[in-house]
Amino acid sequence: MNSTSTLQNALYYTFTRDKWSKLRKAVPLTLSETELTRLRGMNEQLSLAEVTDIYLPLSRLLNLIVGAKQQRNLVLEQFLDQKPDQSPYIISISGSVAVGKSTTARILQALLQHWPEHPKVDLVTTDGFLYPLADLKRKGLMKRKGFPESYDVKMLSQFISAVKAGQKEVLAPLYSHITYDRRHDEHQPVRQPDILILEGLNVLQTGMDTLVHSTAPFVSDFVDFSIYVDAPEPLLKQWYMQRFLQFRQSAFINPDSYFNHYSNLTDDEANAIAGNIWDTINAPNLKLNIQPTRERAHLILQKGPNHTMEKVLLQK
Ligand SMILES: Nc1ncnc2c1ncn2[C@@H]1O[C@H](COP(=O)(O)OP(=O)(O)OP(=O)(O)O)[C@@H](O)[C@H]1O
Ligand SMILES: CC(C)(CO)[C@@H](O)C(=O)NCCC(=O)O
């Protein structure tokens, strides 16, 4: 056994797809036909096997882990002789641009809200915490979107700390992939959910990772369970380019789209532009700022071709 696999064995339980899928045990597929169609609607390539083999065991694991936290609260209640603060369980999902974080997050939200112990599951993406376009332009960060310095980390940590403190209503800013900017007209209210899923490139980063070192609390300080979605870089680039080409036929056609001028591109032109954005922005960000946080995650989901999950690593 080489030293890498010895280290991996020391840190993680490693599951092949087959071994992991058996951990579903008796969990039924609780999604109705309509819900499944809705999930598939947002992503027609999502296979039912992916939901039953990968996401059902994962929802069982998360249900048990959230249950342990709820048990601990009962102990606290007995000890304090009063109800402990109502604090949501926070699950984070990170990984590269285009790895499928938001798809994973939406499937988990749909599955987790079926458990009677935690029916209210909210989903927030950190995209809304990117600085508004005008600020990014002023700071010279237009080619650094997604890098740590492009997020208002103070706003993000204040948000998550207010949610964790059990505040009745906390507003999350929203991002528009159409205008490529923070939305000024609408916020997402978060009202004391049982579970909050927080999805974004940067959720495992700490103040020590960024250029401006800071000891202020960061998102990862508030997260109870962290998931990293992983895939080889050539596949990520391929998925990013495929999505860019799809957008050209959908989102980019919208006259309000920031990328409206891309809607008339030929396939070759679109591929060249997408490849360039990947090589100059998203790939360096992955190597410098995202991948180095992977081993902090409690759970690593490893994808292969066609978004098929091949391996699952669970921290011991
Ligand atoms: N399980 C899956 N099966 C099939 N296709 C998928 C799956 N997950 C994601 N995809 C596809 O991969 C692409 C990226 O997915 P998604 O938008 O969820 O990624 P993301 O990591 O949230 O991206 P970003 O960081 O840019 O917001 C999309 O085109 C999506 O349809
Ligand atoms: C909004 C982010 C940063 C993260 O989801 C990403 O999708 C993005 O816009 N990256 C910048 C480069 C690009 O357009 O892909």
208-263 residue pLDDT tens: 665 555 666 789 889 999 999 999 999 999 999 999 998 888 888 888 898 888 88
Ligand 2: atom nearest CA of 180 is: 9
Residue 18, pLDDT above cutoff 70: yes
Ligand 2: atom nearest CA of 177 is: 1
Cβ(99) to ligand 1 under 6 A?
yes
Q: Ligand 1 centre from 208 Cα, in Å?
A: 29
What mean pLDDT value characterizes the chain? 91
Tokens standing for residue 221: 């300080």
Tokens standing for residue 304: 């292969």
- pLDDT for the residue numbered 135: 97
Higher pLDDT among residues 2 and 310, named by residue: 310
CA distance 52 to 65: 19
DSSP string, 38-75: HHHHH-TT--HHHIIIIIHHHHHHHHHHHHHHHHHHHH
Phi, psi of 174 (to 5 degrees): -115, 150
**Per-residue pLDDT tens over the stretch 132-145:** 999 999 999 999 99
The answer to whether residues 110 and 217 touch, using CB atoms and an 8 Å cutoff, is no
The answer to whether residues 104 and 227 touch, using CB atoms and an 8 Å cutoff, is yes
The DSSP symbol for 246 reads: H
Cβ(102) to ligand 1 under 6 A?
yes
- 95 annotated ligand binder: yes
Q: Ligand 2 centre from 97 Cα, in Å?
A: 7
- pLDDT for the residue numbered 214: 63
Cβ(21) to ligand 1 under 6 A?
no
Q: What angle do CA 264, 281, 181 make, to 5 degrees?
A: 65
Q: Ligand 2 centre from 24 Cα, in Å?
A: 34
- pLDDT for the residue numbered 59: 92
- pLDDT for the residue numbered 215: 65
Q: How far apart are the first and last CA of the chain?
A: 19
- 67 annotated ligand binder: no
Nearest CA to ligand 2 atom 14: 277
Cβ(97) to ligand 1 under 6 A?
yes
Residue 55, judged by CB atoms within 10 A of its CB (0-12, 13-18, 19+), counts as buried
Nearest CA to ligand 1 atom 28: 243
Residue 42, pLDDT above cutoff 70: no
Tokens standing for residue 137: 């332009």
CA distance 240 to 303: 15
Averaged pLDDT for residues 23-30: 76
Nearest CA to ligand 1 atom 25: 97
Pocket test for ligand 1, best of 58, 126, 239 (most atoms within 8 A of CB): 239
Phi, psi of 222 (to 5 degrees): -105, -5
Q: How many CA atoms lie within 13 A of 214 on its CB side?
A: 15
Nearest CA to ligand 1 atom 10: 100
Would you tell me how many other CB atoms lie within 10 Å of the CB of residue 169? 10
Structural domains in the chain, CATH included, are 10-315 (3.40.50.300)
Q: Ligand 1 centre from 187 Cα, in Å?
A: 23
Q: Ligand 1 centre from 98 Cα, in Å?
A: 5
Element (H, E) at 184: strand 181-190
> pLDDT-derived band of residue 1, with 50, 70 and 90 as boundaries?
low
Tokens standing for residue 290: 């995202």
Sign of CA dihedral 156, 158, 159, 165: positive
- pLDDT for the residue numbered 206: 82
Q: Ligand 1 centre from 45 Cα, in Å?
A: 10
Q: Ligand 1 centre from 69 Cα, in Å?
A: 30
Question: Which amino acid, one-letter code, is at 299?
Answer: L
